[in-house]
Amino acid sequence: MPDSNSTSARVSLTTLPKVPTGIEGLDEITEGGLPKGRPTLVCGSAGCGKTLMGIEFLVRGIEQHNEPGVLLAFEETVEELAANVASLGFDLPQLQQDKMLRIDHIHVDRSEIEETGEYDLEGLFIRLGYAIDTIGAKRVVLDTIESLFSGFPNEAVLRSEIRRLFRWLKDKGVTTIITAERGEGSLTRQGLEEYVSDCVILLDNRVIDQITTRRLRIVKYRGSTHGTNEYPYIITAAGISVVPVTSLRLEHTVSNDIISTGVPGLDDMFTRRGLYRGTSTLITGTAGTAKTTLAVSFALEACRRGERCLFFAFEESPAQLIRNMLTVGIDLEPYVKQGLLFIEASRPTLNGLEQHLVTVHKLVKDKQPGTIVVDPISNLISVGSISEVGAMLTRLIDYLKVQGITALFTALISGRNATQEMTEEGVSSLVDTWIHVRDLEGVGERNRGISILKARGMAHSNQVREFLVTSEGVQLLDVIIGPSGIVTGASRLAQTIQEQAHAMAAQQEAERRDRELERKRRVLEASISNLRTEFESVEEELRRVTEEDQHRQQALTQSRQQIARDFVSYQPQNPSDSPLNP
């Protein structure tokens, strides 16, 4: 066959040219799309969405890359196909009218076909070639070419013709998807994988515990690296969505910002007074330990910061959540109305795991939240095995980290072996901060205690802090240390009362001492004044004596002077007598 418009041959020596499928997630796994100008085999059992994948490949090619496409349908008629995908928003009749899409239904019915001699499938080639050439198609889907085997008995001819067809499609330079039914022990019933050696995608549809999980795996991709895992995918209202890949490289950037947990006391338990932005936090606890309340506080705090927050509630409806939170003084309604808080509530069993994951991805993409809360992740175990949940959470956490979204998960755990349980799920190694709330069961009462099991990148308190859920939210109580360690609840009260009694006794003692002192002071003061009085009287006495002495002296002097005057001529008075005169 003459080569019409093959340009794929010389593009780059180093990398294989690829055609983006436009299917969500698939291009990430294939690192760019399907091999350009080559056939790709999509195989899977019934109900995997092979046909849908083919049609979406064509429709996205038309919508996103303006590449016309041809669908060769062996199983369904044009009308049936159009009706089947109309619900996904694919308007096949319109695309056909626009000359962007051609659908050719190939009717093969064994009862109407008789072999009468040698033949080939040139008719098929001509039809396909004609369809491709009339609209200049770049993409082709053959769905499902194996139907030919049911119509034509001569397998040898069919095999050589199919081999020739794939060669011919390659020469034509059209990127082709060939769908095929999964066979027993081989990828396809008719061993088509022998002929298509460039790229093989396997779709799988498993029912585990009554829940269907669809998975996609790239079996081979010649000339290109690709993701090798099994990736869950779902068929949504907008087509196929392959759950985006785990970021294997752990290269996400980190933030140094600190954000509050929404519980002031809890913030104080971290040396940096909060959590790093963009990290993931796990709150584990047994039933009724206020995990949801803590989670909601966290969400509310995010809203207060003006961030958008996505709240996945797997246990309560939004209305119930809002009502219940009002009783602890948390009013979510304004933030819901403001558009800052989105509550997405569903039962975990509603969907398979990957559906939940895709829902998260979709909402994250739509709402661009800064914070995500999942309450609780442990419920997901009901829809998948522990290893699956672990894998899903790995993907989810990685995805959120890459997006720089702060995440908080709660997990219900049973009993005491919290550490073990969480390790089994592998969550503990994924989260950066792990807060554990638990019952502190004492004699006749239960109290709630909160502790930090780990906090990457910052030191934290090692205490189990008792907390109360009050009408003003969660409040951490001060640590009280009793004779045998930290005490809680009634013991805390008893301890407090005892301490109060002690304090009162001590105060009374002090007062008593004060009074004693006062008394002593007064006694002393009294004796001091006695003494002073005594002293005064002594002083008085002394003064009186001195005065009397003076008077006597004076009188004596006067009388002497009198005598001297009387006998003046006799002898003058000695001045040494005068010291008594001042």
Partner 1 sequence: MESEQGPVPAPEYILHLYITGATPNSSRAVRNIKDICERYLTGRYELVIVDIYQQPEMAQQAQIVAAPTLVKKSPGLMRWLVGDLSDRRRVLTLLGLSPDPDDPHAHA
Closest CA to 28 of 237, 225, 234, 250: 225
In the sheet with 406-412, reading across from the earlier edge strand, the strands are 341-345, 309-313, 371-375, 406-412, 280-285, 433-442, 445-455, 465-470, 473-476
Q: Smallest gap, in angstroms, from Cβ of residue 73 to partner 1? A: 12
CB closer to partner 1, 125 vs 477: 125
Q: Applying CB under 8 A, does 80 fall inside the site for partner 1?
A: no
Kindly tell me which residue out of 120, 441, 525, 539 binds partner 1, with binding defined by CB under 8 A.
Answer: 120
Kindly tell me which residue out of 8, 31, 78, 108 binds partner 1, with binding defined by CB under 8 A.
Answer: 108
The stretch among 5-13, 117-125, 429-437, 494-502 that binds partner 1 (CB under 8 A) is: 117-125
For 177-205, b/e burial (b = at least 16 CB within 10 A) is: bbbbbbbeeebbebebbebbebbbbbbbe
Q: Distances from the Cα of 241 to the Cαs of 77, 155, 405, in angstroms? A: 25, 36, 22
Q: Applying CB under 8 A, does 124 fall inside the site for partner 1?
A: yes
- Please give the sequence-ordered ranges of beta strands (E in DSSP) within 165-246, or none if there are none: 175-181, 199-208, 211-221, 230-236, 239-242
Angle between helices 291-304 and 318-326 (to 10 degrees): 90
The stretch among 118-126, 376-384, 401-409, 517-525 that binds partner 1 (CB under 8 A) is: 118-126
Residue 229: Cβ-neighbour burial (10 angstroms; 0-12, 13-18, 19+): middle
Size of the site for partner 1 (CB under 8 A): 25
> Which amino acid would we find at residue 389?
V
Reported as type and span, the H/E element at residue 189 is: none
Kindly tell me which residue out of 79, 94, 130, 288 binds partner 1, with binding defined by CB under 8 A.
Answer: 130
Q: Applying CB under 8 A, does 551 fall inside the site for partner 1?
A: no
Kindly tell me which residue out of 107, 365, 502, 532 binds partner 1, with binding defined by CB under 8 A.
Answer: 107
Kindly tell me which residue out of 87, 114, 306, 337 binds partner 1, with binding defined by CB under 8 A.
Answer: 114
The stretch among 122-130, 369-377, 469-477, 494-502 that binds partner 1 (CB under 8 A) is: 122-130
Q: Applying CB under 8 A, does 91 fall inside the site for partner 1?
A: no
Distance CA 338, CA 369 (A): 14
Q: Smallest gap, in angstroms, from Cβ of residue 132 to partner 1? A: 11
Distance CA 408, CA 428 (A): 13
Site string for partner 1, 236-265 (x = CB under 8 A): ------------------------------
Q: Smallest gap, in angstroms, from Cβ of residue 121 to partner 1? A: 5
Q: Applying CB under 8 A, does 168 fall inside the site for partner 1?
A: no
Q: Applying CB under 8 A, does 121 fall inside the site for partner 1?
A: yes
Q: Applying CB under 8 A, does 148 fall inside the site for partner 1?
A: yes
Distance CA 58, CA 77 (A): 17
Q: What is the DSSP letter of 15?
A: S
8 A C-beta contact, residue 325 and residue 505: no
Q: What is the DSSP letter of 478?
A: P
Task: Provide the greatest CA pair distance for the chain.
Answer: 199
Q: Applying CB under 8 A, does 119 fall inside the site for partner 1?
A: yes
The stretch among 109-117, 179-187, 397-405, 514-522 that binds partner 1 (CB under 8 A) is: 109-117
Centre a 10 Å sphere on the Cβ of residue 281 and count the other Cβ atoms it contains.
23
Kindly tell me which residue out of 65, 75, 84, 152 binds partner 1, with binding defined by CB under 8 A.
Answer: 152
The stretch among 146-154, 182-190, 332-340, 406-414 that binds partner 1 (CB under 8 A) is: 146-154
Q: Applying CB under 8 A, does 118 fall inside the site for partner 1?
A: yes
Q: Applying CB under 8 A, does 79 fall inside the site for partner 1?
A: no
Structural tokens at position 358: 């895709």
Q: Applying CB under 8 A, does 141 fall inside the site for partner 1?
A: no
Kindly tell me which residue out of 19, 95, 106, 141 binds partner 1, with binding defined by CB under 8 A.
Answer: 106
Q: Applying CB under 8 A, does 484 fall inside the site for partner 1?
A: no
Q: Smallest gap, in angstroms, from Cβ of residue 8 to partner 1? A: 24
> Which amino acid would we find at residue 380?
L
Kindly tell me which residue out of 3, 79, 80, 115 binds partner 1, with binding defined by CB under 8 A.
Answer: 115
In the sheet with 39-44, reading across from the earlier edge strand, the strands are 101-105, 69-73, 139-143, 175-181, 39-44, 199-208, 211-221, 230-236, 239-242
Q: Smallest gap, in angstroms, from Cβ of residue 125 to partner 1? A: 9
Q: Distances from the Cα of 300 to the Cαs of 72, 305, 310, 452, in angstroms? A: 54, 9, 11, 21
Q: Smallest gap, in angstroms, from Cβ of residue 181 to partner 1? A: 19
The stretch among 6-14, 99-107, 303-311, 504-512 that binds partner 1 (CB under 8 A) is: 99-107
Alpha carbons within 13 angstroms on the beta-carbon side of residue 162 total 25
Q: Applying CB under 8 A, does 129 fall inside the site for partner 1?
A: yes
Q: Which residues bind partner 1 (CB under 8 A)?
A: 104, 106-108, 112-124, 126-127, 129-131, 148, 151-152
